[in-house]
Amino acid sequence: MTTIHSRRNFLKKAGLMTAGAAGATTLAAPAVIAQTPIKWRLQTYAGAALGPHVTKPAVDMFNKAAKGEMEIELYYADQIVPTGELFRAMQAGTINAVHSDDDSMAAPVEISLFGGYFPFATKHILDVPVLFSQYGLADIWRDAYANAGGVVWLSAAGQDPCHFNTKKALNSLADLQGLRLYTFPTAGRFLAQFGVVPVSIPYEDVQVAVQTGELDGMSWSGITEDYTVGWADVTDHFTTNNISGAWIGSWFVNEKSWADIPDHLKQLWMACVDAGHTYRNQWYWGGEAKLRATGEKLKLTTIPAAEWAEVENAAFKFWDEVAAEGELKAKVVGIFKQYNEILKKAGGVYTQG
């Protein structure tokens, strides 16, 4: 009996100790508080029809991969501020990040006019990452925004070429005279010498402006965008000549917003931005070919090469005028000239023999 009694007491005490230990563990555990995700507001230059292809893929990928640590809210053209005020709004922290070209958002940096479509600076979409990664433009852009203060430049990539889609057919340079076109600031400055009248209005108003006769068309994009955003529904002709082979656009972020997020989220965002670049490369490149070959809304027209050579020559003169405006501009123009010479020696990208 004594042995049985002793064993019972031992088991009873052991049970109390185990329960007590478990209780102590439960009481000592800290309360679990749901983490509030970091929130950014990002505005793109692109409207609601184009944005899902040029900006949204990167944002969606990031939001999914961030697993609740951070969320980026996407806004399309002019939804928070007009496109021309994007830089100032980002610098002030009204918005946290931007996807745009430097020219459209009126960035107060010397190199802003090279964003968007700088006349004949590129031949096609892949020229842009090459120029930034292999010819030094990334360092120039990064330093320019660091000097401006409050904004960090992250990455640049190419998009579509800059053609004309218009109500009337363009078969000669004379047909440009008096055309009221929606275009980029620097592109408009260049085209004005050929009689074009650049018109600046909110992006989402452009289609209606053509329908009402306020605009004769656009010199803003390639044929992929024309079909995607509805411009092919209100214009009749697409001119195969372009004034630049690729749009130069970038991703930016408010300096404090960037500093406040941990490194792993920075790396994740950059990876998603790069993935977005890859998506746009194939989306634009395939669309430009397919819609020229099979699209039924826009009739293709071409200004003869001998006449168009006048526009190309004017572009190189324009380069020299811009280079004379400052040392940094001269450096960028020098890079464009160097790359242009490389392409000439290599031969046309799409030609054989």
Beta strand pairing call for 237-244 and 162-166: antiparallel
Our CA dihedral for 299, 305, 307, 312, rounded to 10 degrees, sits at 110
Residue 321 token pair: 């005028």
Q: What is the pLDDT of residue 34?
A: 53
CA–CA gap between residue 313 and residue 301 (Å, rounded): 21
Q: What is the pLDDT of residue 350?
A: 43
Q: How many of the other CB atoms lie within 10 Å of CB of 186?
A: 24
Strand locations in 122-175 (E): 151-158, 162-166
Q: What is the pLDDT of residue 238?
A: 98
What ranges do the domains of the chain cover? 38-123+132-159+247-294
Its CATH class, for the domain covering 38-123+132-159+247-294, is: alpha beta
User: Angle 127-130-134 (CA atoms, 0-180°, nearest 5)?
Assistant: 150
Q: What is the pLDDT of residue 299?
A: 98
Which DSSP category does 116 fall into? B
Residue 25 token pair: 């563990």
Q: What is the pLDDT of residue 7?
A: 44
Q: For 53-100, what is each residue's pLDDT tens digit?
A: 999 999 999 999 999 999 999 999 999 999 999 999 999 999 999 999
- Answer whether 185's CB lies under 8 Å from 103's CB: yes
Residues of the chain with pLDDT below 50 are 1-33, 350, 352-353
Q: For 305-353, what is each residue's pLDDT tens digit?
A: 999 999 999 999 999 999 999 999 999 999 999 999 999 999 866 454 4
Backbone CA torsion sign across 251, 256, 257, 261:
positive
- Answer whether 15's CB lies under 8 Å from 8's CB: no
